[in-house]
Structure 1
Amino acid sequence: MTTLIGWKSREIAIKILNAFEKDKKLREHVEKFTVNLSPLDRAFIREIASGTVRYLRLLDFSLQRALKKNLKGQKPSVRNALRLIAYQLFFTGVPAYAAVNETVEAVKRLLGKKPAGFVNAASKKLLGFNYRREVERIPSYFERISTLYSFETWMVRRWARFYGKDEIEELLKSLNKVAPLCLRVNRIKVTPEKLFSLLESKGIEVERHPFIPDILRIKGRVPIESLPGYKEGYFYIQDPASFLAAYLLDPKPSELILDVGAAPGGKTTAIASITENRAKIVAVDVNKKRMELLKANCKKLGVKNVSFVLTDISKDRSFREKFRSSFDRILIDAPCSATGVIRRHPEGKWNKSIELIRHNQKVQRALLKSAYELLKPGGVLLFSVCSLEQEEGEENAKAALNFGYSPYEFSNLFEELKAGLKGNTLRVFPHRNNMDGFFYAIFRR
């Protein structure tokens, strides 16, 4: 496994950012460029590349103000080197000389002396630059906070309309924080108490979730593969909000349960854990590659009684005929804009649109409509999305009533979440609940 020197890690980060510019994807590029590196190098490169993407708008604003130049005319490696330097200076504890010198050296290796000299000279203007003071000069409130927290203005305006102007800055701050590492205990193999004790005995700093017994939080940064119980399948990496989708479904042993959009397996394996492998689960997904990941996760966690079906229930009439009125419970964790998980995927700030949200809404409604045929009379359906958009949440919950569903009550809702409850719907937020932003709606046929 390779360990890097300073300039090399910046060179890789620049290459990741160059790739991100082309397709607005981040995770795939981080994995591709860091796969053979040590955990320490991988973590550092992920931090500076992801952080640069997270604060992209603010960094570009600051560079333009400091340099009095537009970055668009620069070569991608120069542009992204300057962003990288600005991020390190503004948001990390990296010493200024290392942030500048190592990144300049990376540009020299990539492009030669002249571009490196330009980056070096330009970076000097960032030393001591007060971005907050410059942002305060922006006259429009929404432009100002969108720049400061680095979001698209259209996103910020609509979230303020949805959730209140008094709360918007707290929401933006929380979406910029790096999400904690949470483990969902696999009850098929271990109890929460035993896993907690195992982690503590190996010197891992761990804490219990304040009110969800199945969730443990790891303090600090630890390579996941090195955690005790990882190889044995004692846990699954899962945010509390994601686990809640399976938990709020309230699955029971001996029931036939459909999990729609099941891959890569967080909710399927959570249902199996909750029912201790005694429910029968049909896990459906449209993505073949992700379905293989789901199968591997089930095997690792000791999950049984799962049938894997590669299909789209909204287009597969034969599947609907085969399972008509069959399922006791259905979970639809629908494909969505994923604006509720931006703290985990900062590239999500820059690859969304109103058109995407409207497209998702059509897909989500088609799934809800099709699932009605599959649910037993008296059966329960839980719909969830990791989205902050009301088109994908509240508007779909209303539309579901036109498909024949009746509102139902959450039977096992934690007291600490009741402030987010509205009838048969629930919202959780990073700034209110310290978990990803999710919407849930529960229905009965």
Structure 2
Amino acid sequence: MKLHRNLVFATIDSLHMIFNEQKQADKVLKNTLKRDKRWGARDRSFIAETTYDIVRWKRLYAEIAEVKEPFDRPNLFRLFAVWATLNGIKLPDWKQLEDTPVRRIKGRFDELSKIRKYRESIPDWLDELGEKELGKRWDKEIAALNELADVVLRVNPLKATVVEVQNELADLEIETETVPGNPYALKLKERANVFSTEAFKNGWFEVQDASSQLVAQLLDPKPGMRVIDACAGAGGKSLHIASLMENKGQVIAMDIYENKLNELKRRARRDGIHNIETRVIDSTKVIKKLIEKADKVLIDAPCSGLGVLKRNPDSKWKMDPEFLKQIKKNQAEILDSYSRMVKPGGELLYATCSILPSENDAQIKAFLKRDEGKDFSLVKDKKIWPSESGFDGFYMALLKKNNAE
């Protein structure tokens, strides 16, 4: 592979913004990739994949390169040189890459690969926490979370069948395969830009990980019900719920961020969905008005996001123990408050994209012991491990509210 100066420099600029200005990796890349109209798909994918790779392996590469944050430009080039060397790419004779100790890089890599926190490139505190909460299991889960995430689509049954979407994409030479246990999921055999396809623009599918699709499936909403998605965000799960309800009944999508709900409205229009109503949670009144009004409530709780590190490798550098402590406090408060919207005999589904028991089954056990949870009982819970599924890590617990005496 021949390295092109302008692509490497664009990668270095992106890394500077992610590491030194604490910007979100996906937003940085969105802007970087618009920089030069002459870049083709291969150029853009080089920048995106290389940037994500270096973000993912930051700790390991920094240790090999013997550089410390904040990384100045020469340091960023050293990280890049480590990436290129370990990927078997011959370094050009640019002054920024002079004196790269190629042989020492390989030796250091072999040495550091024996130590998990370097091999998996994670902060000390996270490595300790993972081992404390998951024991031996932590080894294989963190290794699975460092693999590249698959692109998975969720077919919108209101617009198309799985076979129609497969055929439409196959015509564009985008090959897909079905995912067992996921009736609407299609996994791309190779990465491709599906957002530019007519099928996407016409609302035939959304991009949604296979694990995430199991949430609405476990909730099992029926046409005609009133279902509340209490932490809807940009609404991937709300859209799935509405499609399973065949546009009949009502989905109330709530969030504290209005801009996310506006994005959901836009997506719903594209998907031909018109039974979603959005409500911004700007006071406690919003919840009070809905007490005991819902057949089913989904709490897709804010969490550490540890189960989706494949997708967001930069989040492990932004997390810290204090953030995790606050998140767990929020989860308990949300469970206590939002569970009141379930009517007697109705169901509550608590979900996170985390693999930590303290955010998952421990939260549910604690909730069922508190006064707020005394009317609920656990129907079933499901842990989705990245090492077994190959997809994101998820937890979901389905609770039933007793009928009033």
TM-score, normalised with respect to structure 2: 0.91
Aligned alpha-carbon RMSD (Å): 2.0
What one-letter code is carried by the residue in structure 1 that aligns with 2:216?
A
**Partner in structure 2 of residue 112 of structure 1:** none
Counterpart-to-counterpart distance in 1, 2:16 and 2:158: 44
Aligned to 1:443: 399
Counterparts of residues 29-428 of structure 1 (less than 5 Å): 29-37=28-36, 38-64=40-66, 70-72=67-69, 76-90=72-86, 92=87, 95-97=89-91, 100-101=92-93, 104=94, 116=95, 119-125=96-102, 129-135=106-112, 144-165=115-136, 167-227=137-197, 229-311=199-281, 316-401=283-368, 402=370, 403-404=372-373, 405-409=375-379, 424-428=380-384
Q: Tell me if the contact between 2:302 and 2:352 (Cα under 8 Å) persists in the aligned partners.
A: yes
* 1:28 partner letter: K
Preserved contact between residue 246 and residue 267 of structure 1 (Cα < 8 Å) = yes
- SS of the residue corresponding to residue 252 of structure 1 reads coil
Per-residue deviation, residues 238-285 of structure 1 (Å, max 9, x unmatched): 001111111111101100010012121110100011122113100001
SS of the counterpart of 1:407? strand
User: Which residue identity lines up with residue 365 of structure 1 in the other structure?
Assistant: A
Q: Structure 1 residue 187: deviation in Å?
A: 0.7
Structure 1 segments unaligned to the other structure (5+ residues): 65-69, 105-115, 139-143, 410-423
Q: Secondary structure at the match of 1:346?
A: coil
Q: In the TM superposition, what whole-angstrom CA distance separates every residue of 1:24-74 from its partner, at most 9, and x where no partner exists?
A: 63112111221355433222111111100100111011112xxxxx4458x
Question: For 1:183, what is the secondary structure of its paired residue?
Answer: strand
Indicate the residue corresponding to 1:421 in structure 2.
none
Q: Does the 8 Å CA contact 1:159/1:388 hold for their aligned counterparts? A: no
Residues 228 and 297, structure 2, Cα contact 8 Å, conserved in 1: yes
Q: TM-score, structure 1 length as denominator?
A: 0.83
- Matches of 1:220 and 1:168 in 2, distance apart? 28
Specify the alignment match of 2:11 in structure 1. Answer: 13
State the 1:338 CA deviation.
0.5
Tell me the distance in 2 between the aligned counterparts of 1:298 and 1:265.
9
Counterparts of 1:397 and 1:182, CA distance in 2: 29
Alpha carbons of 1:87 and 1:217: their partners in 2 closer, same or farther (altered >3 Å)?
A: same
How far did 1:174 drift?
1.0
1:427, distance to aligned residue in structure 2 (A): 1.0
CA distance in 1, matches of 2:267, 2:33: 23
Q: Give the 3 Å change call, closer, same or farther, for CA 380–207 of structure 1 in structure 2.
A: same
The answer on whether the counterparts of 1:181 and 1:237 sit within 8 Å (CA) in structure 2 is: yes
Secondary structure in structure 2 of the residue aligned to 1:369: helix
The residue type equivalent to 2:205 in the other structure is: F
Query: Deviation string for 1:400-430 (max 9, x for gaps)?
Result: 2122242232xxxxxxxxxxxxxx3221021
Give the unaligned 5+ runs of structure 2: none
Aligned-pair identity (%): 27
Q: Report how many residues are paired.
A: 392
Name whichever of 234-243 and 353-362 sits farther off.
Answer: 353-362
How far apart in 2 are the matches of 1:360 and 1:6? 43
CA spacing shift, 1:127–1:42, aligned 2, 3 Å:
farther
Go from structure 1 to structure 2 and tell me whether the alpha carbon gap of 1:295 and 1:39 turns closer, same or farther (over 3 Å shift).
farther
Q: Is the 8 A contact 2:82 2:105 kept in 1?
A: no
Post-superposition Cα deviations, 1:128-175, rounded to whole Å, max 9, x if no partner, equal 623343226x7xxxxx1110121122222322333332x333212211
Q: CA deviation at 1:210?
A: 2.2
